[in-house]
Amino acid sequence: MLYVDGHGRVFARGPYDKGNLRELAVAWDNEGYANVAVIFATNFIPLPYQSKIKLATLQWAGVFGDRFILHETVDHLEEKKFKNGIADTQPASKAENMARQKANERDLPEDEKEKRKLEQEEWMKTIETGKKEKKDEKEKRKKEKKEKKEKRKKEKKEKKEKRKREEAEGKAFLFFCQEMKKKEKKEKRKKEKRKREEAEGKMRVR
């Protein structure tokens, strides 16, 4: 059997542990999840080390005061909650969980309170670090996206300028070709005129 006492500590009593209680160090969050930190018990089906488990994933027979009676099996389970001996399928609200947590914390010894406070601070630091890392990653992606956009813009501009240049060069070459053709035609006409004049001059001499 597993059960949680009024201070949120999880204990195990199994058929092979000769009745000795084995304690699990557990931190509960506001969503009703248990963050299992250390497992001391060995004679029941163990929960994964440092796993995140929800109360609904453990089959428990009921709540008697602040005590949760839990069965050893973890698969194919359903949550059963009792208030004053009457089955209640509605999960506790965040406010109820917080109120129970605060009430439990008031009964704790000072050193345990300090320990929990330090654990909470450490947890908050971890959350803040995670948020910062997430923010940094977001900023990095934003920067990369901006750089990519600028690069595409620059490439597009260069491509446009290159096309303009090629068009201008093409027009210049075409103009040059046209001028050369005009010049050739002019030279050809001059030669033909000269030939005609020479032929006419010879005829006069005769």
The structure's pTM equals 0.29
- Which pLDDT value is given to residue 206? 59
pLDDT of residue 9: 47
Q: Round to whole Å and give the CA distance between 116 and 56.
A: 24
Domain spans of the chain, in order of start:
2-90
- pLDDT lower than 50: segments of the chain: 1-91
Q: Burial level of 79, CB count in 10 A (0-12/13-18/19+)?
A: middle
pLDDT digits (tens, 9 = 90+) for 129-142: 877 888 888 899 99
Length of the chain, in residues = 206
3-state secondary structure of 23: strand
Instruction: Give one DSSP letter per residue of 31-72, joined into a string.
Output: TSEEEEEEE---SS-PPPTT-EEEGGGS-EEEEETTEEEE-S
Residue whose C-alpha is closest to residue 25's, from 54, 6, 44, 4: 4
Alpha carbon dihedral 131, 136, 137, 140, in 10-degree steps, equals 160
pLDDT number for residue 80: 35
* Coil, strand or helix at 77: coil
Contact between 112 and 11 (Cβ < 8 Å):
no
